[in-house]
Structure 1
Amino acid sequence: MATPHLDYHLHLLHHLRTILAALGEAEQVPEESHALFLERFDELLTLLPQDPLQSQYLGQDLICQVIQRYPQIAHLVPRDLLWFFGGDCLHFMPDVELDLYQQLEERRYAAEQQGESFDWVEEKRIRLSAATQDPHQ
């Protein structure tokens, strides 16, 4: 069952897929291994909506591989995807960022428990804005 939270992350994955495809088209990477990688990425895009929990390890593996295989685009990997897949992906996030995402996750969980709606993007924007105004947070 798709949720707004899952849909948001699928959108980010599709965007990252577009960037990866552009790398291949620009002949920035070895074509054969890149094509196989894109096939696995497409597998994730298919499996994630069907079984989000079972897809976590594949997602972790692929996001980590994007950063390791394609360092020229590592800065374009949405930070939300690192948090979403967790595991080894979290090694690419500094502690201050991990704290922010932990707060977001706790707020999202609390909202769900109370039957409230939760806008991940808006809540993140608010927290980032507050953090830049109070650097001691």
Structure 2
Amino acid sequence: MNDAEYARYCRQRLKEFAATLVTRTASLPEGDSLRELAQAFDELSPEYVYSEAPGLVDRFFTTYPDFAPTFPRELLWFLGGECLHYMPDDEIQLFQRLDEEREAASERGEVLDMEAARQRLRDN
């Protein structure tokens, strides 16, 4: 998986998270802050992912910490910067190793199964 494919993969994961959050918050009243945050994630356009998503992630984690486990961990790594503050050191190390494996697979012309590789690294 090269960098472009990885970026597409992560943007797709973000889109899936947003769609799920919108669905889960649809029954909340109009104007509810969690529903509005879900809508902001859903309306995030690809060209603004790096500039706007970290702020949405920060708002999600600080305002709704009970929902933080529903956010895909690889997106914290993908967005980097301030988002890394929501990851423990051992998880950061895991994603560093995963990135190294992804890059090595890309150099060999292979596509890394991210989920399987992450599970294998966790088990070791």
Give the shorter-chain TM-score range.
0.7 to 0.9
Q: Which moved more, 1:11-20 or 1:76-85?
A: 11-20
Measured in 2, the distance between the counterparts of 1:20 and 1:103 equals 29
Aligned ranges for residues 52-131 of structure 1 at < 5 Å?
55-130=49-124
Deviation at 1:36, TM superposition (A): 4.7
Q: 1-side partners of 2:99 and 2:80: how far apart?
A: 12
- TM-score normalized with structure 2 length: 0.78
Structure 1 residue 56: deviation in Å? 1.4
Relative to the length of structure 1, the TM-score reads 0.71
Deviation at 1:129, TM superposition (A): 1.8
- Report the residue type matching 2:49 in the other structure: S
Relative contact order (C-alpha < 8 Å, sep 6+): which is higher? 2
RMSD: 2.6
Unaligned runs of 5+ in 2: none
Q: Evaluate the alpha carbon distance shift between residue 30 and residue 88 of structure 1 in structure 2; reply closer, same or farther with a 3 A threshold.
A: farther
What percentage of aligned pairs have identical amino acids?
30
Alpha-carbon offset, residue 32 of structure 1: 5.6
| Structure 1 unmatched ranges of 5 or more | 131-137
